[in-house]
Structure 1
Amino acid sequence: MIVDCHVNVYEDRHLTPVHGEQVATRSGGFDPKADPDTVFQAMSGVDKAIIFTLRYGDSAGVSGDDEVTARAVAKYPQKFVGFAAVDPRRPDAMELLRHAVEDLGLRGVKFGPIYNGVHLADPRMVPIYEYCVKHDLPLTMHMGTTYARNAPLEMGRPIHVDEVARRYPDLKMIMAHMGHPWGEECIVVARKHPNVFCEVSALFYRPWQFYNTLVAAQEYNIAGRDKIFWGTDFPYAGVEESLEGLRNINHLVEGSRLPRVAQATIDGIIHSNPFAHWWHGKAPA
């Protein structure tokens, strides 16, 4: 079984002019289309995909809504599990979250502190954390840097997850992108807390950083412990290239005495199953 735990979904109308301006600064080209049908076709190589929209209109230029996520799940229920997207700056943030979960049937939450400019310790996050715990909702967080100029880098630091994890030990938290470039912060926080996990989406195209992060994960003994999950960050990366990048990670150090990423680590990430670990009760099938 292969599960893509990080897939973005939105429609063309959700893209703002900011999006084109910002992505021009990132390395590598990509097709920004991520409507439900496009995403379904892109996910043909995986068994399941966790999908969510983005409420990052003023930073990354995507101003989505949970309805598009719910429509995708309704159309392709055997493939997709949907998460709600939360922007704590909005006065109706909790109303939207309750609607997404209780009316639309979404099963988790996605939040980007760096994109919304809201620190994990901000008081506006408290009702979101409490709601997640009450309703058994995993919280996926963008952790790490971004190319978006209107985004405070400090809010992407994985070390800030430590305080929240200590305060809410029943809240399942997932640090996306292994907190790049602060991978070791991500690793030590995930090692410390049973309720904290991480995932490798959108890391393969920085192979040296990716390699070092996975070696560090082995040295800190979180590899092979159902702590690291696999994802793409579609449309910013695709399924096959993401799988190939992980499978071939040791090509970097062929002919050297540098440590290898163990095959067990690679296979464990590719076949990781969030549905067995991210929920306390009955996980989505």
Structure 2
Amino acid sequence: MIVDCHVNLWKPEHVRPLFAAGTTHARPGAVSPLADPDTVRAAMEEVDKAIVFTLRYADSAGIDGDDEVTAEAVRKYPDKFVGFAAVDPRRADAMDLLEHAVQDLKLKGVKFGPIYNGVSLLDPRMVPVYEYCVRNNLPLTMHMGTTFAQNAPIEYGRPLAVDEIAGRYPDLKMIMAHMAHPWAEECIVVARKRPNVYCEVSALFYRPWQFYNILVTAQEYRITERDKIFWGTDFPFAEVRESIDGLRNINAQVEGTALPRVSSETIDSILYSNPFDHWWHGGLSL
């Protein structure tokens, strides 16, 4: 089974001009603004399951989504999608929206972007979110690392804050997206240290040298042997096939050298990883 653990979802009315202005620096080539439920379903044809969520990043990345579109996608394609709620702790109604997303819309996890919302993981406004996740067995996926968006404090993307929060809330399952690039080594050592912390490789393949070094480092710290790294695309910022090929062909750039290789076991363990067995206490029945 192939599970895409990081898929963005929105409708055209959620896209602000800031999105087009910022994504010119996101990756080589253009990034499509289309990520409605039907577009995402077509893009996910090669995967068995996809974890989908919208973004509440209006003032940083130019997407002002809502959980209703995520719930709509799950209702329309229940065999393909599992939905997460988006949280912006700056909002006075943040917890009301989160409770609605979980209790009424039946979403199964939470997505948060510290740098995009300008709220550190250590901010007191996050405490109710953490406590709610623990009470309701909800994993918390976090955008960690850098971004193309200018209105985003990059310091909030460093993984060392995850270490502190994971220690405070040992029953909170936390997932660091994008291996917290360029601070992947911090991500890896935190995931190694904390049993409740995981990471994933979405949107890394198009920086192949960085991606190669991340995977070799993960092998050397042996977190690849512990089902700590999961596979995803970050659609629409990356497509399924190019993400699979980027992982499978990671060693091509070091052929003919004495540099270490990313093992086939590591590649397979990531590509065929199953978050539903790990991110929820007791697993998630699908």
Give the secondary-structure state (helix, strand or coil) at the position aligned to 1:49.
Answer: strand
Partner of 1:27: 27
1:62-111 per-position Cα deviation (integer Å, ceiling 9, x unaligned): 00000000000000000000000000000000000000000000000000
- How far apart, CA to CA, are the structure 2 residues paired with 1:73 and 1:134? 23
Give the secondary-structure state (helix, strand or coil) at the position aligned to 1:127.
Answer: helix
Distance 1:282 1:212, change over 3 A: closer
Match of 1:12, as an amino acid? Answer: P
Partner of 1:194: 195
Question: TM-score, normalized by length of structure 1?
Answer: 0.99
Give the secondary-structure state (helix, strand or coil) at the position aligned to 2:223.
Answer: coil
1:235-265 per-position Cα deviation (integer Å, ceiling 9, x unaligned): 0000000000000000010000000000000
1:191-214 per-position Cα deviation (integer Å, ceiling 9, x unaligned): 000000000000000000000000
Question: TM-score, normalized by length of structure 2?
Answer: 0.99
Does the 8 Å CA contact 2:277/2:283 hold for their aligned counterparts? no
Unaligned runs of 5+ in 2: none
Does the 8 Å CA contact 1:107/1:284 hold for their aligned counterparts? no
Instruction: Return the offset for 1:26.
Output: 2.6
Partner of 1:79: 80
Partner of 1:277: 278
- How far apart, CA to CA, are the structure 1 residues paired with 2:282 and 2:264? 31
Length, aligned pairs only: 285
- How far apart, CA to CA, are the structure 1 residues paired with 2:283 and 2:264? 31
Match of 2:8, as an amino acid? Answer: N
- How far apart, CA to CA, are the structure 2 residues paired with 1:49 and 1:128? 23
Does the 8 Å CA contact 1:81/1:284 hold for their aligned counterparts? no
Partner of 1:175: 176
Partner of 1:215: 216
Give the secondary-structure state (helix, strand or coil) at the position aligned to 1:26.
Answer: coil
Give the secondary-structure state (helix, strand or coil) at the position aligned to 1:102.
Answer: helix
Match of 1:37, as an amino acid? Answer: D
Does the 8 Å CA contact 1:143/1:158 hold for their aligned counterparts? yes
- How far apart, CA to CA, are the structure 2 residues paired with 1:27 and 1:52? 21
Match of 1:32, as an amino acid? Answer: P
Identical amino acids, percent of aligned pairs: 71
Does the 8 Å CA contact 1:16/1:62 hold for their aligned counterparts? yes
Does the 8 Å CA contact 2:6/2:235 hold for their aligned counterparts? yes
- How far apart, CA to CA, are the structure 2 residues paired with 1:25 and 1:245? 20
Unaligned runs of 5+ in 1: none
- How far apart, CA to CA, are the structure 2 residues paired with 1:171 and 1:123? 16
- How far apart, CA to CA, are the structure 1 residues paired with 2:243 and 2:226? 21
Partner of 2:39: 38
- How far apart, CA to CA, are the structure 1 residues paired with 2:112 and 2:66? 13
1:88-145 per-position Cα deviation (integer Å, ceiling 9, x unaligned): 0000000000000000000000000000000000000000000000000000000010
- How far apart, CA to CA, are the structure 2 residues paired with 1:122 and 1:6? 24
Partner of 1:233: 234
- What pairs with 1:123-272 in structure 2 (closer than 5 Å)? 123-272=124-273
Name the Cα RMSD after superposition: 0.7
- How far apart, CA to CA, are the structure 2 residues paired with 1:207 and 1:282? 32
